[in-house]
């Protein structure tokens, strides 16, 4: 994964206009907002919440858009530091630790079908890591 992030970053760097350091950084950060908006659009489409359009997306579309957010965020992080893997791993460890009451292992997911959304822990047949 990290080699792919470095490769995407290198490709973007090789194709940016000369002398465009500040603008490239800004654009990579803004690209993240665009990708998050695409997640929202896919969720609205998967739930059929736009009465004019109805169901226009699947939950697999939402998964794909979420992956785009993660990739875009990691490339943006790589733009800030060449130590992307170390920075991310260190931060993930801090978030994980502070999310555990007393540093304990999180409880196991509830019974099958307990979640109300695709991918919810315990949701049967979600096909995602969460279920």
pLDDT along the chain (131 residues), means of 10: 96 88 88 97 97 97 98 96 97 94 63 48 40 36
Asked if 90 and 81 count as a contact pair (C-beta separation under 8 A), the reply is no
DSSP class of residue 4 equals: H
Listed residue (114, 89, 82) closest to 10, CA to CA: 82
Q: How far does the chain reach from its first CA to its final CA, in angstroms?
A: 23
Supply the pLDDT for residue 106.
57
Cβ partners under 8 Å of residue 31, min gap 6:
72, 76
Query: How far is residue 118's CA from residue 122's CA, in Å, rounded to a whole number?
Result: 10
Contact assessment for residue 35 and residue 72, using Cβ atoms and an 8 Å cutoff = yes
State the pLDDT at residue 5: 97
State how far the Cα of 35 lies from the Cα of 1, in Å rounded to an integer: 19
> What's the alpha-carbon Rg for the chain, to the nearest Å?
18
């Amino acid at each position: 994964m990290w080699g792919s992030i470095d490769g995407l970053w290198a490709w973007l760097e090789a194709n940016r206009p000369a002398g465009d350091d500040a603008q490239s950084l800004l654009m990579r950060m803004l690209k993240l907002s665009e990708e998050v908006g695409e997640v929202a659009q896919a969720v609205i489409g998967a739930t059929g919440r736009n009465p004019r359009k109805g169901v226009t997306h699947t939950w697999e579309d939402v998964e794909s858009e979420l992956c785009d957010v993660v990739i875009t965020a990691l490339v943006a992080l790589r733009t800030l530091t060449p130590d992307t893997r170390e920075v991310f791993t260190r931060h993930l460890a801090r978030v994980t630790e502070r999310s555990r009451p007393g540093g304990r292992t999180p409880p196991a997911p509830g019974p099958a079908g307990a979640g109300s959304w695709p991918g919810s822990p315990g949701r049967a047949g979600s096909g995602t890591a969460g279920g």
